[in-house]
A and B are shown apart, each in its own frame.
Chain A
Amino acid sequence: SYELTQPLSVSVALGQTARITCGGDNVGSKYVHWYQLKPGQAPVLVIYRNINRPSGIPERFSGSNSGNTATLTISRAQVGDEADYFCQVRDSSTIFGGGTKLTVL
């Protein structure tokens, strides 16, 4: 079955750029979606179809996908961006990455 690999954690200094990767075999041929999860809250879609931001998501959030790696980039990171981030693709079924905990220092 298809697998997506994410780093367990990423740290970023306040105001700097965080990059969270999502690795998978030829993932660049698939559409990747990203979700933000904060404790006790509903998950939030932050990027869909590799590069698109839903309404209400700040422009600081962007995505890319090529080859074997998709990347979620968070520019000018804020304390409020601290959360778990999950990538997702559709293969024979819906597949999620293992999640990355973002810490803003």
Chain B
Amino acid sequence: DVQLVESGGGLVQPGGSLRLSCTGSGFTFRDYSMNWVRQASGKGLEWVASIKQDGNEKYYVDSVKGRFTVSRDNVKNTLYLQMNSLRAEDTAVYYCARVQYYYDRSGYQEGDWFDPWGQGTQVNVSS
């Protein structure tokens, strides 16, 4: 059964740091790009960061550039999000999500949709 499980959320003061983890099981973790997506209470989904299979390509939404770092350990099947200089507006449920593949005439291609997702971990930034 393909599964993603996040951990590491909690309450942190503004300016503080937190590291989220997401452990995958039931699939070959190193073969998939991974993402972090967040949802503030009462708000919509916001893509936060993505990382390619080997960890050499990373992308971020502008609002977290320079503060958040996405990484992965393909031996431990784990995705990370190091969050520094946290702000109140970073308060949200953080989800990890796997990119999917599809097959066409050229073979297997990386898609741009997410499946599955983890159940999320709550991050609260407050004094």
Contacts of B4 in A (CB 8 A): 42
User: In the complex, which range does the number of interface residues on chain A fall in?
Assistant: 20 to 34
Instruction: Kindly state the separation between the CA atoms of A9 and B95 in the bound complex, as whole angstroms.
Output: 23
- Scan residues 89-125 of chain B and give those whose CB is less than 8 A from a CB of chain A: 95, 97, 100, 102, 111-120
CB-contact partner of B115 in A31, A48, A95, A99, under 8 A: A48
Flag B47-91 by CB within 8 Å of A: 1 or 0 each. 100100000000101000000000000000000000000000000
Query: Which residue on chain A has the smallest CB distance to residue B113?
Result: A33
Check A45–B114 contact: CB distance below 8 A: yes
Min CB distance A100 to B, Å, is 10
CB-CB under 8 A from B21, the residues of chain A are none
Q: CA A90 – CA B33 in complex, angstroms?
A: 15
Q: Once the chains bind, are B113 and A49 in contact (CB under 8 Å)?
A: yes
Known: A31-B112, A94-B112. A86 touches B119 (CB 8 A): no
Whether A42 contacts B117 by the Cβ 8 Å rule is yes
Does B44 contact A98, Cβ atoms closer than 8 Å?
yes
Tell me if A7 counts as interface (CB < 8 A to partner B): no
Question: Which of B44, B45, B59, B115 meets A93, CB within 8 Å?
Answer: B59
Interface of B is mostly: strand
> Which B residue sits closest to A92, measured CB to CB?
B59
CB atoms of A41 and B119 under 8 A apart: yes
How distant is A99 from chain B, measured CB to nearest CB, in Å? 5
How distant is the Cα of A33 from the Cα of B37 in the complex, in angstroms? 15
Q: Does A13 sit at the interface, judged by CB under 8 A?
A: no
Contact in complex: B120, A97 (CB < 8 Å):
no
Question: For residue B39, which residues in chain A have a CB less than 8 angstroms away from its CB?
Answer: 37
Q: Is B31 an interface residue (CB 8 A)?
A: no
- The reply to whether the CB of A44 lies closer than 8 angstroms to some CB of chain B is yes
* Pair B113/A43 contact, Cβ less than 8 Å: no
A1-54 contacts to B (CB < 8 Å): 31, 33, 35, 37, 40-45, 48-49, 54
B-side residues, CB < 8 A to A, are 4, 35, 37, 39, 44-47, 50, 59, 61, 95, 97, 100, 102, 111-120
Q: Which 4 residue pairs across A and B have the least CB separation, nearest first? A: A90-B112, A94-B47, A33-B113, A45-B115
Other than the given A54-B115, A94-B112, 4 more pairs (CB < 8 A) read A31-B112, A43-B114, A96-B37, A99-B45
